[in-house]
Amino acid sequence: MDSKEQEQNQYLMANIHNKELIKKGAFINGEWLETSESNRTFAVKDPATGELIATLPDLSLNEVDHAIRCADKTFQDNYKNTLPRQRSQWLLKLYELMLENIEDLAKIITLENGKSLADSTSEVKYAASYFQWYSEEAPRIYGATIQPSISTNRVFTIRQPVGVCAVICPWNFPSAMITRKAAAALATGCTVVVKPDHETPLSALALAALVEKAGFPPGAFNVIISGTRTSEIGTRLCESSLIKKLSFTGSTRVGKILMKQSSSNIKKLSLELGGNAPFIVFEDADVEKAVDQLILCKFRGLGQTCVCANRVYVQTKILDNFVSMLKEKVSAFKIGHGLLKETTHGCLINKQTLEKVEKHKKDAIEKGAKVILGGGPLPDLGPTFYEPCILSNVPKNALVSKEETFGPLCPIFTFDTMQEVIKAANDTEFGLASYVFSKNINTVFKMAESLEAGMVSCNTGIFSDSAVPFGGIKESGFGREGSLYGIEDYTVVKTINVGTL
Ligand SMILES: NC(=O)c1ccc[n+]([C@@H]2O[C@H](COP(=O)([O-])OP(=O)(O)OC[C@H]3O[C@@H](n4cnc5c(N)ncnc54)[C@H](O)[C@@H]3O)[C@@H](O)[C@H]2O)c1
Ligand SMILES: O=CCCC(=O)O
């Protein structure tokens, strides 16, 4: 590492109080691997400034294989047989450690992801809550007893841990997307190999430092990192016969690649993929509440969440009122570096994300959308800052009605009838989240049952919670994370037949 890199790492050192959370290498079998046999490194940068914040080893495929073997050995030799109550205690300790370190963990997220400290702090609470929830579920993994057709036989089922789980996560929730998977896996007796995104690996490593402190056996939780071998590592994880399950959160494009690759050994899969959420406001809704909830939903993480409203449908009669209220509230945002106190919204993760927002905005305007709030890049603040944009009268053929923007573009479409809006909302290959606002209970139920989505949120724009099943249908994937259902994804049902009683 040259002196410039050392100096820039000081930036991270100066901002984080608990230095034990700043890790410089992968975490395999309870050991920190600070240099790779590849002799290669990769850089982690603050997306708000482009400044280097860490230099990490770029693992070789050999080192990835080593992590997989260690996770398998730990699973076979001890972890699968640990007592549920013991796993519960480790998970609860980890929850407590996350909360004890909440300020530092939030700063790490902000530094590597760019979201505001308020967003990062909520993420840490949300991420930690999965360990709390699954510490409570670990001792409650039940089977069933069944009377089969032969009267003298008895059948019962048990749920067993599926085995080593690969966990591949995106950059938009550098902590919560890992804990949502790892908490359930560790609760059921599975071991994990986590591969964070190369842009946000520091939160995963900080989490590993706390896993170590919480007392989990070496090899139960492993973190592999790379800045250059993403697809090769993906193939390795999919094709490894030691890995019994892959849980992925990310784009539908990559989800399809992983699914194809995993067919070689019929791996169990959970895929949490892209979304294109409709946010539907009927004229009998509480308009101010709908606007406030839209703001929370649409601009959380500056629009970079998979459950963000992507298309806003407002019934014609209330359009003007809705739009003027929304404009006033969004104009009050303070965009800036996520670490600054006054910042309400940070920056985007990278320039490609910014370019996609610009592309969707320009396309909609060219096709006739009306500009309510101009938005656009804010280069004086930094390379990835973007002022939110609101468009109304967006036409049906705009790109944004088909593609997920993943940024602070708020396109408003209008509708007149319920049938019309159901048809428009479902006209997408995605089916993750949907939102409905109405005071009429019949409207709410009719919509909730008609919308093709894994999750329908009624009269609220924020629903994510470790107690709640999270997941999609159609090309948004399958599997459910969080809640009682999350256990199913990491266990297999074994049927035990007992004959001739
Ligand atoms: N459904 C959900 O719960 C959920 C949550 C967050 C994000 N997302 C989706 O993720 C997308 C945004 O994230 P992104 O752009 O980083 O997605 P992405 O699919 O490009 O990347 C996600 C992760 O997969 C890795 N990856 C990329 N190519 C790979 C390959 N060939 N093999 C193995 N790993 C590979 C990346 O390094 C990253 O860690 C959006 O579509 C969003 O909706 C979905
Ligand atoms: O971006 C996807 C996850 C968002 C959430 O869990 O609320």
Nearest ligand, CA of residue 476?
A: 1
Structure tokens at 290: 């709908």
The owner of tokens 């670990």 is 138
Q: Separation of 112 CA from ligand 1 center, angstroms?
A: 16
Question: Can you read off the two tokens belonging to residue 412?
Answer: 């408003």
- Centre of ligand 1 to C-alpha 169, Å, is 6
Tell me the CA–centroid distance for residue 492 and ligand 1, in Å.
26
| Atom number, ligand 2, closest to the C-alpha of residue 305 | 1
Strand pairing category for 26-28 and 31-33: antiparallel
- Which ligand is nearest the CA of 349, by number? 1
User: What is the pLDDT, as a whole number, of residue 3?
Assistant: 53
Q: Which atom of ligand 2 is nearest to the CA of 180?
A: 6
CATH topology for 277-471 is: Aldehyde Dehydrogenase; Chain A, domain 2 (3.40.309)
pLDDT digits (tens, 9 = 90+) for 418-461: 999 999 999 999 999 999 999 999 999 999 999 999 999 999 99
**CB-CB contact of 153 with 501 (8 Å):** yes
Give residue 129's region: left, alpha or beta (phi > 0; psi -120 to 50): alpha
What are the residue numbers of the active site? 272, 306
What is residue 19's DSSP assignment? G
The closest-lying atom of ligand 1 relative to the alpha carbon of residue 258 is 32
3-state helix, strand, coil in the chain (%, to 5): 40, 20, 35
Question: Which DSSP helix (H) or strand (E) runs through 473?
Answer: strand 473-474
Task: Show Cβ contacts of residue 399 under 8 Å, excluding neighbours closer than 6 positions.
Answer: 359, 360, 363, 364
Which residue among 248, 273, 474 is best mutated to probe the pocket of ligand 1, counting the most ligand atoms within 8 A of its Cβ?
273
Mutational pocket test of ligand 2: of 305, 434, 457, 465, the residue with most ligand atoms within 8 Å of the beta carbon: 305
Q: What is the pLDDT of residue 501?
A: 64
Q: Sort 39 into a burial class: Cβ within 10 Å, 0-12 / 13-18 / 19+.
A: exposed
Residue 477 CA, closest ligand 1 atom number: 1
- Give pLDDT < 70 ranges for the chain: 1-9, 501
Collapsing DSSP to helix, strand or coil, 190 comes out as coil
- 483 sits in the region (left: phi over 0; alpha: psi -120 to 50; else beta) called left
Query: What φ, ψ does residue 458 adopt, rounded to 5°?
Result: -110, 125
> What is the Cα–Cα distance from 304 to 301, expressed in whole angstroms?
5
Measured CA distances, 377 to 10, 347, 350, 381, 465 (Å): 29, 10, 12, 9, 32
H or E segment at 193?
A: strand 192-195
Q: What is the DSSP letter of 435?
A: E
- Cβ proximity of 24 and 32 under 8 Å: yes
Distances (CA, A) of 249 to 80, 462, 482: 25, 19, 14
Residues 318-350 have pLDDT tens digits of 999 999 999 999 999 999 999 999 999 999 999
Mutate to test the pocket of ligand 2, among 464, 481, 483 (most ligand atoms within 8 A of CB): 464
Which of 125, 307, 435, 460 has the most ligand 2 atoms within 8 A of CB, as the residue to mutate?
Answer: 307
State the closest ligand 1 atom to the C-alpha of 253, by its place in the atom list counted from 1: 19
Which atom of ligand 2 is closest in space to residue 464's alpha carbon? 7
Determine which residue's CA is closest to atom 29 belonging to ligand 1.
Answer: 231
- CATH topology for 3-273 is Aldehyde Dehydrogenase; Chain A, domain 1 (3.40.605)
Distance between Cα 274 and ligand 1 center (Å): 8
The DSSP letter of residue 342 is T
Separation CA 112–CA 202 (nearest Å): 7
Residues 336 and 342: beta-carbon distance below 8 Å: yes
State in Å: Cα 185 to ligand 2 middle.
18
The DSSP code sequence of 370-421 is EEEE--EE-TTT-TT-EE-EEEES--TTSGGGTS---SSEEEEEEESSHHHH
Residue 161 Cα to ligand 1 midpoint, Å, equals 25
- Ligand 1 centroid to Cα of residue 286, in Å, is 35
Q: What is the per-residue pLDDT for 500?
A: 80
Ligand nearest to the CA of 237: 1
- The CA-based diameter of the chain, rounded to the nearest angstrom, is 79
| Angular region, 392: left φ>0, alpha ψ -120 to 50, beta rest | beta
Using CB distances shorter than 6 Å, the residues near ligand 1 are 168-172, 197-198, 230-231, 234, 249-251, 254, 257-258, 272-275, 306, 404, 406, 432, 472
Q: Determine contact, residues 329/321, Cβ cutoff 8 Å.
A: no
- What is d(CA 245, CA 168) in angstroms, rounded to the nearest whole number? 11
Q: What are the domain boundaries of the chain?
A: 3-273, 277-471
Q: CA dist 259 to 241, 256, 271, 477, 486, Å?
A: 15, 5, 9, 10, 20
Q: Rounded to an integer, what distance in angstroms lies between the CA atom of residue 85 and that of residue 411?
A: 49
Residues near ligand 2 (Cβ within 6 A): 172-173, 305-307, 464, 470
